[in-house]
């Protein structure tokens, strides 16, 4: 992630320093950047002069002290609150008082990270999505301490880098990692219940639902350790709300070091001679699977809007640009009809007797009043 963000900034013309206390990690990062740019040149997507210019603007260093003259520092270290707070506290005595300190955290409290700094007004979240050079979305998350001037300055800067920015409230998971929890969680729940196997659930989500990747494919791509940690963090930070409860199945994958593509085995086997399982292409079953995941995603998006995590357009933009969903969840809710969404959520809650399936107050209100999220337009059929 760090070298990806560096590539984005250097492509926009900035002088960039990439810092890591591991010389091996720095060497790998430098090699990766050269390889990426060389491939772009080979494919005719970038000329040699531009690629060399980007490489020339990126320097590598092994201590935070080398960052002293930076105008902005974007932290992309391990997703651990204490580690991030310690780093920010250390950075503050190195950089200028006006240097912006940004964290790329995907789920941790920006306010808690900022509180490690005396000049906390210049701290905020700048959450890129992997791979940073390709994914257009960046979530901008001000802490309660962040000054309005810093928020505007940073959002304008990232916009100038050609990214699509949305501002999100400093709550666990922000927009994307909050709204997307049911994409993984409900798929895991159906697997555990024996409703369908991994291949069938992925098939239903892609072929019936129109998503680019199935939940198990995506968890293997992200890394089960990373995905589980985000889920665990959101669950804890939401005071153990059952909507975000992690899965024992995924925890056991992490325990076994079956992390996905990076370890060669996850929900799928990535070995050289591995034979992938065939899905059950029962259309009725596929509809059942995707509808259950979909109403849970819609419920989460509606609740995010109800709690002012972001705007209607910001939430839908985040999900289409950040995780490539075929439609924004609020627009999709209009397509299905809020009365239908509410009915299916209420049926799930009645059947399971769990608060996990409780419908958002906003969905109840809008369904009762016959409202739509987008009264000005109609979502086209897939």
DSSP string, 301-332: HHHHHHTTSS-HHHHHHHHHHHS--SS-HHHH
Per-residue model confidence (pLDDT) at position 375: 92
Tell me the three state secondary structure of residue 249: helix
Instruction: Answer yes or no: 127 catalytic.
Output: yes
Helix spans in the chain (H) = 2-11, 23-42, 48-56, 81-92, 110-114, 148-160, 176-179, 181-193, 198-203, 215-222, 224-237, 248-255, 283-306, 312-322, 329-336, 338-352, 361-369
Residue closest to 106 by CA, chosen among 77, 67, 144, 71: 77
Point out the catalytic residue in the list 139, 217, 300, 344. 139
CB 6 within 8 A of CB 16: yes
Task: For residue range 47-68, list pLDDT tens digits in order.
Answer: 999 999 999 999 999 999 999 9
Give the CA angle between residues 143, 156, 331 to the nearest 5°.
75
Whether residue 131 is preceded by a cis peptide bond, meaning omega within 30 degrees of 0, is yes
Instruction: Report d(CA 68, CA 99) in Å as an integer.
Output: 9
CB 102 within 8 A of CB 75: yes
Instruction: Report d(CA 139, CA 358) in Å as an integer.
Output: 27
Domain spanning 175-382, CATH class:
mainly alpha
CB 45 within 8 A of CB 20: no
CA 296 remoteness from chain centre: 17
Instruction: Answer yes or no: 86 catalytic.
Output: no
Which token pair is 91? 């950075």
Which token pair is 160? 């100038």
Per-residue model confidence (pLDDT) at position 322: 94
| Mean pLDDT of the region 288-313 | 98
Tell me the three state secondary structure of residue 66: helix
Task: For residue range 142-187, list pLDDT tens digits in order.
Answer: 999 999 999 999 999 999 999 999 999 999 999 999 999 999 999 9
Task: For residue range 250-273, list pLDDT tens digits in order.
Answer: 999 999 999 999 999 999 999 999
**Is 70 exceeded by the pLDDT of residue 382?**
no
Q: With cut-offs at 50, 70 and 90, classify the pLDDT of residue 378.
A: low
DSSP 337: -
Point out the catalytic residue in the list 70, 127, 227, 299. 127
Task: For residue range 97-143, list pLDDT tens digits in order.
Answer: 999 999 999 989 999 999 999 999 999 999 999 899 999 999 999 99
Task: For residue range 223-245, list pLDDT tens digits in order.
Answer: 999 999 999 999 999 999 999 99
Tell me the three state secondary structure of residue 64: helix
Average model confidence (pLDDT) for the chain? 96
CB 5 within 8 A of CB 104: yes
Point out the catalytic residue in the list 177, 227, 299, 310. 177
CA 35 remoteness from chain centre: 25
Instruction: Answer yes or no: 27 catalytic.
Output: no
Point out the catalytic residue in the list 70, 75, 92, 106. 106
Instruction: Report d(CA 106, CA 86) in Å as an integer.
Output: 18
According to CATH, where is 1.10.1040.50 located in the chain? 175-382
The full DSSP string for 191-211 is HHHTSS-HHHHHHIIIIIT--
CB 233 within 8 A of CB 108: yes
The CATH topology of domain 2-174 is Rossmann fold (3.40.50)
φ, ψ of residue 238 in degrees (nearest 5): -90, 25
Instruction: Answer yes or no: 139 catalytic.
Output: yes
Instruction: Report d(CA 170, CA 332) in Å as an integer.
Output: 25
């Amino acid at each position: 992630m760090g070298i990806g963000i560096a590539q984005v900034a250097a492509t926009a013309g900035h002088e960039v320093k990439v810092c890591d206390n591991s010389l091996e990690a720095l060497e790998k990062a430098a090699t990766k950047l050269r390889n990426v740019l060389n491939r772009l040149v080979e494919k005719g997507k970038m000329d040699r002069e531009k690629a060399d210019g980007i490489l020339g603007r990126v320097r590598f260093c092994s201590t935070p002290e080398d960052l002293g003259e930076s105008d902005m520092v974007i932290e992309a270290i391990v997703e651990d609150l204490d580690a991030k707070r310690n780093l920010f506290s250390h950075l503050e005595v190195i950089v200028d008082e006006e240097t912006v300190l940004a964290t790329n955290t995907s789920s941790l409290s920006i306010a808690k990270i900022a509180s490690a700094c005396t000049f906390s007004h210049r701290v905020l979240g700048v959450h890129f999505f992997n791979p940073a050079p390709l994914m257009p979305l960046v979530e901008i998350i001000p802490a309660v301490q962040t000054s309005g001037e810093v928020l505007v300055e940073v959002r304008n800067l990232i916009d100038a880098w050609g990214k699509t920015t949305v501002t999100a409230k400093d709550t666990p998971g922000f927009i994307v990692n909050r709204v997307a929890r049911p994409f993984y969680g409900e798929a895991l729940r159906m697997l555990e219940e024996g409703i369908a196997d991994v291949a069938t659930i992925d098939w239903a989500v892609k072929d019936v639902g129109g998503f680019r990747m199935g939940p198990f494919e995506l968890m293997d791509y992200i890394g089960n350790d990373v995905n589980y940690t985000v889920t665990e963090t959101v669950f804890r930070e939401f005071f153990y709300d059952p909507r975000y409860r992690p899965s024992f199945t995924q925890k056991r994958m992490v325990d076994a070091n079956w992390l996905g593509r990076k370890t060669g085995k996850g929900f799928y086997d990535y070995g050289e001679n591995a034979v992938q399982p065939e899905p059950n292409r029962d259309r009725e079953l596929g509809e059942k699977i995707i509808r259950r995941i979909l109403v849970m995603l819609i419920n989460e998006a509606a609740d995010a809007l109800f709690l002012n995590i972001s705007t209607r357009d910001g939430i839908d933009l985040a999900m289409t640009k950040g995780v490539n969903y075929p439609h924004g969840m609020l627009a999709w809710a209009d397509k299905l009809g809020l009365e239908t969404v509410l009915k299916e959520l209420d049926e799930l809650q009645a059947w399971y007797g769990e608060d996990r399936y409780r419908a958002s107050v906003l969905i109840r209100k809008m369904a009762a009043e016959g409202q739509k999220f987008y009264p000005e337009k109609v979502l086209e059929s897939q």
